[in-house]
Amino acid sequence: MKCYLILLFNLIFLINTFGQVDNKSENNKNLETYLCEHRTYLTLNTDSTLSLSYDASSLISSKMKNKNLFVIGENNHNYFLTNKLRILFIKKFSKHGLKDVFIEYGRSTAAVNNAYIKSNYNLSYPPYLYKVGQNLNYAREMEQTKEIYNKSADFNFVGIDFERTFFYFRAIDCILNYFNTKEKEAILQVAPYLHDTSILHYTNRQSKHYFKKIQNDFIKDSATFKSLFKTQYNNYKYLVTNKDICLPSQGRKRDKLMAENLLKETQELPNNKNIYLLSCGYFHSNVNKKNSLLGRLSESSTFKNKILILNLYCNNCNIDIQGISIDGFMKKDILKTFQHAANNKFVLFDLSELPIEYEYIKKQGDLLLFVN
């Protein structure tokens, strides 16, 4: 009798197991069918720029109706396509009221970017960006952005993250360029540390102390700085009053400060019709995490129900980490299903109408660019 019971239990177990496998297989087929019916394409042009197909452009335009923040969820900061995507969407939205491009850098980086795209200089001019050979992707991105800006577009870069020392000194140089030699000497006599590039070799602890000194001196004697910087006072003030001026904050505090910085830039524009573009790492753009940058923005009165997220996943790429596979849904059977449905080099999937059983995928962003 005991043997019969054991056989019966084993039989029930096998029936349940194979039933679950069949259900899982059927679900994967349903997902693949949906993906094949909701895909459009991007193209990498001969000049190394990206372009949207007519259907892809129409899809994004329709999804942006009644929304005003478009987010690129970067799979990896170092992935070459990230720069190209920013250019693609700056170009697209600059025709439709693009006001600010929010970047995961400090205010100083944004200030340098803005100074460059609005100037008549090229990249070799000392106060501006990297030399072309130092960071080719970034340099090309700025050159192409300048071309878009010069075609009557009117937008600004806005840094919402902590300050990077290299760009901080570049930004200070951009401000000092407005003054003659005597005026510069007067400024540097009061604040010699603004020209002390030894910070570029500081440890993290030394850099934090350095930046705090800049902030504290400004707070203690803002009247003197107002007298010295004259018409550039507000630009200098904006640069030195970033709450997150010192290195990456620990844990979700960084996301909190980034959200505060971004919302501060938009809170004075109630009911505005502007379009905003945000490019940040997936760990910040994962809206499922309540305390992430996008988790906070999606609950704010300014951007609640007004955000469109495009996540990026690169299949067979030689990069060290991809947020959407580490902290997201792109794993195992789900990954295989997307691989089967991705029938081109650059496939844009519309996930906004996924069946309810895939709500956990849909929640992380309405759009996904899958790169083979």
Q: What confidence tier does 341 reach under pLDDT thresholds 50, 70, 90?
A: very high
Average pLDDT, the chain: 83
Average pLDDT over residues 227-242: 93
The Cβ of residue 264 has, within 10 Å, a number of other Cβ atoms equal to 12
Phi-psi region of 296 (alpha: psi -120 to 50; beta: other; left: phi over 0): alpha
DSSP state of 320: S
113 within 8 A of 167, measured Cβ to Cβ: no
Average pLDDT over residues 118-127: 61
pLDDT of 144 strictly over 60 = yes
pLDDT (0 to 100) of residue 62: 95
What domains sit in the chain, N to C, each tagged with a CATH number? 39-111+139-162+249-371 (3.40.50)
pLDDT tens for each residue of 10-38? 545 444 544 444 555 666 788 999 999 99
pLDDT (0 to 100) of residue 133: 40
Q: What strands lie across the sheet with 307-314, from one edge to the other?
A: 50-52, 39-44, 346-350, 367-371, 307-314, 69-74, 275-281, 98-103, 156-159
Name which of 44-53, 127-136, 220-229, 267-276 the model is least confident about. 127-136
pLDDT tens for each residue of 246-304? 666 566 688 999 999 999 988 765 556 789 999 998 888 888 777 889 999 999 988 99
pLDDT (0 to 100) of residue 348: 97
Non-local CB neighbours of 273 within 8 Å, separated by 6+ positions:
68, 97
pLDDT tens for each residue of 313-331? 888 776 655 666 666 677 8
